[in-house]
Amino acid sequence: MESSSVTANQPFILLRLWRTKEYRSVFIQIITMLILFSLLAMIGNNVATNLEIAGKDFSFRFLSYPAGYDITFQPFIDFSPTDTHLRAAVVGILNTLLVAVSGVIIASIMGFTMGVLRLSNNWLISKLVYVFLEFTRNVPVLLHIFFVYSIFLYALPVPKKAISISETVFITNRGIFMPAPVFGDGFGYVWIALLVAVVAVIFFVIWERKNQDETGENYPLFTISVAILIGLPLLTYFISSAALSWEIPAIKGFNFKGGTSIKPEYLALTFALSYYTSCFIAEIVRAGILAVSQGQSEAAHALGLSHGKTLQLVVIPQALRVIIPPLASQYLNLTKNSSLAIAIGYMDVVATIGGISLMQTGKEMETMIFVLLTYLVFSLIISAFMNWFNSRMALVER
């Protein structure tokens, strides 16, 4: 009788586990994951049923079929209509990467510059930057892309009346045409020398930082690095007698032939995304600089440092710890906004595999999954790099 009364007074085992915080947390997570996977299974089953009704199968075999269309801008690898949809997707991915990388670099330079000028003691410069920032940030980015693209189309002359620079570079509304290098025998040694120079610069930078921490000696890092990067390949070029010639573009018919060209679609998209994103970066930079205590600047001035040196050596290094985390979001936004390229005919991954290939093959699910995974990988790479860079710039406790 006594044992049965004790058992009756004890709560049910599941109730006891629920009253424990750790078990309750695990239980809620398990239930949430079960609900999530159930919803995904329902969606997958619904998609499979609809595809079966429409007479379609789910496969990526279409990637090996001939694309049947041309890509006007292919700076990295050649492409023809007889190539596969997979090669078209690769060209689109490379074009997207080109806009993302060049846009991030230009936006960073413009953003840091405008962020510093926004805090300038010069009233006129500060207000001009403020007006530009407010105007740009409050207009949709797509309108900026259309605006810049229209400038390239209507402000620049046609190829017959091209703006010529030394009869080698020609600026038209169909792009900027420039000489293209033609590499001959022996030029492979120059590429090897360039690779060796890059590795040497990396090791020199690591050694210089370690030496500065130990001895306090400061070497002209930038000057020496540039000398190595230029000097070693140039010396190898003369020693190996490598053949190098240039193909000059020439007008033939209604357009230029030969050489290489930068299309107005790429220029308009990159420039519009760059200055649009730079306006947000400028405000991040301004906030980061203002987050640094005024006493830091006063101490630097007391030591005799000029305003520029104070900003370069004292304020900016500390402000970077505040600037870098939100900066990652802007880089992600620029990369994802590059998908608007299809609006002006720039052949990125959305326009190739997610546009023309989709319409030709009817593979809506497969092509969209390909595009979604592409941008997911881009975002994860950018996030991982910025997290690594942020950890390197973080304060180290001693």
C-alpha distances in Å from residue 274, one per residue of 104, 282, 287, 346: 7, 12, 20, 16
What does DSSP assign to residue 69? S
Which of 20-24, 156-160, 182-186, 369-373 is the least confident region? Answer: 20-24
Q: What is the DSSP string of 165-202?
A: ETTTEEEETTEEEE-EEEE-TTTHHHHHHHHHHHHHHH
Q: DSSP string covering 215-227, please?
A: H-----HHHHHHH
E strands along 104-167, which residues? Answer: 163-165
For residue range 77-87, list pLDDT tens digits in order. 888 888 888 99
Burial classification of residue 152, based on how many CB atoms lie within 10 Å of its CB (0-12 exposed, 13-18 middle, 19 or more buried): buried
Task: Count CA atoms closer than 13 A to 215's CA, side-chain side.
Answer: 8
Spatial CA neighbour of 349 closest among 137, 86, 76? 86
- Phi and psi torsions of 220, nearest 5°: -70, 85
- Which pLDDT tens digit goes with each residue over 210-251? 887 777 677 777 888 888 888 888 888 888 777 777 888 888
355-378 core/surface letters (b: 16 or more CB in 10 A; e: else): bbbbebbebeebbeebbeebbeeb
pLDDT of residue 6: 46
Instruction: Give Cα separations from 159 to 164, 170, 173, 179, 318 (angstroms).
Output: 10, 8, 7, 16, 50
Q: What's the rounded mean pLDDT across residues 57-86?
A: 85
Identify the CA nearest to 80 among candidates 91, 69, 89: 69
Per residue in 84-113, pLDDT (tens digit) is 889 999 999 999 999 999 999 999 999 999
- Mean per-residue pLDDT for 258-273? 88
The chain-wide mean pLDDT, for the chain, equals 84
- Count of all residues that appear for the chain in the document: 398
Tens of pLDDT, residues 156-205: 888 888 888 888 888 888 888 888 888 777 778 888 888 988 998 888 88
Question: 260: part of which helix (H) or strand (E)?
Answer: strand 260-262
- Say whether pLDDT at 61 is over 70: yes
Q: Supply 149's token pair.
A: 């693209």
Q: What is the rounded CA–CA span in Å between residue 350 and residue 392?
A: 34
Residue 254 has pLDDT above 70, yes or no: yes
153 — pLDDT class (breaks 50, 70, 90): confident
Decide if pLDDT at 15 tops 80.
no
pLDDT score of 1 more than 50: no
On the CB side of 360, how many CA atoms lie within 13 Å of its CA? 18
Instruction: State how beta strands 169-172 and 163-165 pair.
Output: antiparallel
Q: Are 125 and 117 in contact (CB under 8 A)?
A: yes
The identity of residue 31, as a single letter, is I
Residue 12 has pLDDT above 70, yes or no: no
What is the b/e burial string over 181-195, where b = at least 16 CB atoms within 10 angstroms of the residue's CB? eeeeeebeebeebbe
pLDDT (tens digit per residue) in 335-363: 999 999 888 888 889 988 888 888 888 88
Q: Which residues pair with 255 in a beta bridge?
A: 252
pLDDT band for position 132 (50/70/90)?
A: very high
* DSSP state string for 263-296: -HHHHHHHHHHHHHHHHHHHHHHHHHHHHS-HHH
